[in-house]
Amino acid sequence: MELVFPKRAPAGAPTGSPVERLERLLAELEQRLSGLVERGLAACTRASFDGSGLEGGIADAIVTPEAVEDVLICVDACGRAGVPLTVRGGGTGRAGGAIPLRGGIVLVMTRLDAVAWQGEVLVAGAGARVAAVERALAERGQVLSARPYGDPAVSTLGGLIGSGGAAVHARRTGGLAPHVRRLQTVTGAGELIRTGALAAGPLPTWDLTRLLIGSEGGLAIVTEVALTGVTLRPTRRVVRVLRDSEALATALRAAGQDSSVAAGCWLSASAARALFDDGARVPDGGALWLTDEDAAPSAAKGSEAALSDLEGRLTAQLTAAHPRHTLVRFAPRIPIEIIASCIDAFETAATLAGLAAWCMGDELGTVHLVVAAPDDDPGRFERATDVLEGVVEAALDHGAAAVGAFGSGLLAPRWLRRERGMQLDLLNQLKTVFDPHGIMNPGKLPKTRR
Ligand SMILES: Cc1cc2nc3c(=O)[nH]c(=O)nc-3n(C[C@H](O)[C@H](O)[C@H](O)COP(=O)(O)OP(=O)(O)OC[C@H]3O[C@@H](n4cnc5c(N)ncnc54)[C@H](O)[C@@H]3O)c2cc1C
């Protein structure tokens, strides 16, 4: 394994005003990466939003590398100029992770998309579309161990690694991380490093792969991923109507004990009615509980991947049904013991605030809380976030994880500070080692309090 540790920042800060530094940087990039730099306002604006609908900064330029060397050049030049660099895959993330909060360069990875088998391991460029990776795995009867909810034809493997790689059938597969053999990345210090090992078996000790997975482009840019797929057993879809949130908690607990349940997804009554014609059979306060359970091949129906599509389908449906509204959302992972009270508290708080609300979740305890805030109401975001924050705040006291899905991005820094405590100190120190110039996706990892 080739491993080159990142160097610390060289002494001396970049000279000149921010505008001068940016102009110098753009001139250098246009000269060294001719044809790969785009500065048009329309393109820069398009590359500055993602599936979250949140607003942040606007990129000053887009660089679309065709080779790892181009990434190295871009990181080196941005580091010397002290200009922010935000890495982007397909821009389908729901947390604003790919939004260039402080402007600068957006590095679009989609041309690094080669996919090839190397023995039993699939080696793919970070810009490979998830659909292309899934096709390659399917040649050997395998599937990706974490299907993201974003459109697989658009979202990239690097984006999935960047946002953590957990998803609906993570219960059975453990998510993406256990199946990643090796990552090739370019750190914010401009060093090419390889972590993990191609050889089979768990990740080696003293290895950085697990740290880099889910680091949202804040430490390093993933350029290549070596992974294995998984083979899922045949399943059939079972659908149950549950009378209330206590019955849902009981069903989730039972699923946690039952190894024949491969994946599960529940919808609140409002979400079930929004998605299914016969959703009205779910009583107020109740839920629709869908599971994929082991079945003999002859009885196998449905697919676990389809369960992971439900969140996207619900969002599309709500967006269409609520024009002139903004959907405000959060997705904590909540211990099953308190899930019923959290759901009830969320629905009550939304009713009191006069906001339409929906929720759904998976068998792991991830709960998607969605509130529609009317665009013509100036206090809409405050009221909507008050509803969400009240629930998350209470859940954190009982061991919830603020970020159960989507990644942290612009949504969760406030919660990371509360949840991670002293760990945040160490993360910030590590970030300084990986990213000595402070250019990598800045503004996302909250600073420590002291
Ligand atoms: C409904 C919904 C639910 C989701 N739930 C989950 C979930 O439970 N678990 C989960 O992991 N993800 C979740 N996601 C996010 C999902 O993983 C992304 O939609 C998709 O995988 C991101 O791919 P992308 O190429 O569009 O990434 P982008 O949106 O472009 O980027 C996502 C993040 O990854 C970083 N990134 C992109 N490329 C790289 C790279 N090459 N190297 C380093 N960092 C990079 C970006 O800076 C950004 O922080 C969800 C998305 C949706 C739409």
Q: Say if residue 216 is in the same domain as residue 356.
A: no
Q: Are residues 247 and 364 in the same domain?
A: yes
User: Are residues 204 and 266 both part of a single domain?
Assistant: no
Contacts of residue 331, Cβ cutoff 8 Å, sequence gap at least 6: 366, 367, 368, 369, 403, 404, 405, 406
Domain presence at residue 5:
no
Which residue has 């609906």 as its token pair?
168
> How close is the Cα of 212 to the center of ligand 1, in Å?
14
Amino acid (1-letter code) at residue 306: A
Longest CA–CA span in the chain (Å) reads 70
Is 159 touching ligand 1 by the criterion CB < 6 Å? yes
Q: How far is CA 133 from CA 47, 123, 240, in A?
A: 23, 9, 33
Question: Of the candidates 211, 227, 243, which is a domain's last residue?
Answer: 227
CB-based contacts of 71, cutoff 8 Å, min separation 6: 65, 107, 112, 186, 221, 223
Domain with 91 in it: what CATH number?
A: 3.30.43.10
Does the residue 382 lie in any domain? yes
Place of tokens 């107020």: 284
Q: What is the CA radius of gyration of the chain?
A: 22
Whether 37 contacts 78, CB under 8 Å? no
389 neighbors 400 (Cβ within 8 angstroms): no
Q: Are residues 97 and 122 in the same domain?
A: no
Note the pLDDT of residue 6: 46
Shared-domain flag, residues 326 and 258:
yes
C-beta 217 within 6 A of ligand 1: yes
- Inside any domain, residue 397: yes
- The closest-lying atom of ligand 1 relative to the alpha carbon of residue 366 is 8
177 lines ligand 1 (CB under 6 A): no
- Cβ(279) – ligand 1 distance below 6 Å: no
Looking at the CA of residue 212, tell me the nearest atom of ligand 1.
Answer: 43
Residues 376 and 322 in one domain: yes
pLDDT at position 12: 63
Claim to verify: residue 255 and residue 360 sit in the same structural domain: yes
What ligand 1 atom has the least distance to the C-alpha of 97? 49
Beta bridge partners of 356: 372
Between the CA of 426 and the centroid of ligand 1 the distance, in Å, is 24
Half-sphere exposure in the Cβ direction for 4 (13 Å, CA) = 12
In a domain, 424, yes or no: no
Ligand 1 centre from 376 Cα, in Å? 30
27 sits in the region (left: phi over 0; alpha: psi -120 to 50; else beta) called: alpha
Q: Which amino acid is at 26?
A: L
- Does some domain include residue 425? no
Residue 253: closest CA among 418, 105, 363, 330? 363
| Number of folded domains that form the chain | 3
Per-residue pLDDT of the chain (450 residues; tens, 9 = 90+): 444 544 544 546 788 999 999 999 999 999 999 999 999 999 999 999 998 888 899 999 999 999 999 999 999 999 999 999 999 999 999 889 999 999 999 999 999 999 999 999 999 999 999 999 999 999 999 989 887 667 899 999 999 999 987 765 667 778 889 999 999 999 999 999 999 999 998 888 999 999 999 999 999 999 999 999 999 888 899 999 999 999 999 999 999 999 999 889 999 999 999 999 999 999 999 999 999 999 887 777 655 457 778 888 898 999 999 999 988 888 899 999 999 999 999 999 999 999 999 999 998 899 999 999 988 888 877 888 899 988 988 899 899 988 877 788 888 777 888 888 788 899 999 999 999 999 999 999 988 765
- The pLDDT assigned to 302 comes to 54
**Residue 177 shares a structural domain with residue 314:** no
306 and 386 housed in the same domain: yes
- For position 392, which CATH number holds? 3.40.462.10
- C-alpha of 191 from chain center: 25
Backbone phi and psi for residue 39, each to the nearest 5 degrees, phi listed first: -120, 0
Residue 445 falls inside a structural domain? no
Separation of CA 281 and ligand 1 centre (Å): 35
Mutate to test the pocket of ligand 1, among 149, 212, 215, 315 (most ligand atoms within 8 A of CB): 149
Q: Is residue 419 part of a domain?
A: no
Domain span at residue 55 reads 18-110
Indicate which residue's Cα is closest to atom 32 of ligand 1.
Answer: 159
Sequence-separated (6 or more) residues with CB below 8 Å from residue 171: 261, 262, 263, 264, 362, 363, 364
Cα(314) to ligand 1 centroid in Å equals 18
Decide if 260 is inside a domain.
Answer: yes
Residue 159, domain CATH: 3.30.465.10
Note whether 422 and 68 are within 8 A (CB). no
Bridge partner residues of 234 (DSSP): none
Residues 251 and 204 in one domain: no
90 and 148: one domain? Answer: no
Of 110, 133, 168, which marks where a domain is finished? Answer: 110
| Full-model pTM | 0.90
How far apart, in Å, are the Cα atoms of 176 and each of 181, 203, 211, 230, 426? 10, 13, 13, 10, 24
Q: Is the CB of 98 under 6 A from ligand 1?
A: yes
Q: Are residues 171 and 282 in the same domain?
A: no
Rounded to the nearest whole angstrom, what is the distance from the C-alpha of residue 94 to the centroid of ligand 1? 7
48 lines ligand 1 (CB under 6 A): no
Whole-number Å distance, alpha carbon 47 to ligand 1 midpoint, is 14
At a CB cut-off of 8 Å and minimum separation 6, what does 418 contact?
396, 402
**Considering 65, 95, 110, which residue would you say is the last residue of a domain?**
110
Indicate if ligand 1 lies below 6 Å from the C-beta of 149. yes
Is residue 61 in contact with ligand 1, taking CB distance under 6 Å? Answer: no
